[in-house]
Amino acid sequence: MVGRFTEQKGVYDFINAFSNSGLKAVLLGYGESYVEQEIRKLCEKNRIKCICRPDRDTILQYIKSSHIYALPSKYEPFGIVGLEAMALEKPIVVYRVAGGPIDFVEHNVNGLIIENNPYALKKAVISLINDTKKLSQMSKKALETSKEYNWPNIAKKTKDFYSSLLLK
């Protein structure tokens, strides 16, 4: 997971989901210094790797080396980091209440849309890890999805939308 260390981004759900789970979970992000300190301690206690204020290359390195990207946000206007993970062939696990990511995540195709709780997050990630065929198929679909969001396509969709307003 990559994001601001806030309740909105689901950072505490991520920690609760993967605490002492035996899975190699990595949390990358930033927050107020006292929050970063708290998150570091929680992660250390619960055997989760935590990197505060990572640079872009570090973020990309960790996403590339992962199998799945967790996006347990309670609300995202769009969720660009999820789309970036998809561009690196990572299916994403996202909460049903997330907002924006629901526009590009298709359940059981390029990711999983789950109920918003740590238990569901852990269960979804484990289910994908244990089903390598499904994980591989979803990884390919994630990459395909990300390609739809290139700048020429976005510009065309925006232009078409505004043109449709003029015709009404």
CATH number of the domain residue 24 falls in: 3.40.50.2000
Instruction: Summarize pLDDT for 25-75 with one digit per residue, the tens.
Output: 999 999 999 999 999 999 999 999 999 999 999 999 999 999 999 999 999
Counted domains in the chain: 1
**Structural domain of 105:** 2-166
d(Cα 97, Cα 89) in Å, to the nearest integer? 23
* Residues in contact with 48: Cβ distance below 8 Å, sequence separation at least 6, in sequence order: 14, 15, 18, 19, 25, 26, 27, 42
Q: Is the pTM of this model over 0.85?
A: yes
pLDDT at 168: 60
3-21 pLDDT, tens digit each: 999 999 999 999 999 998 9
pLDDT band at 167 (very low <50, low <70, confident <90, very high): low
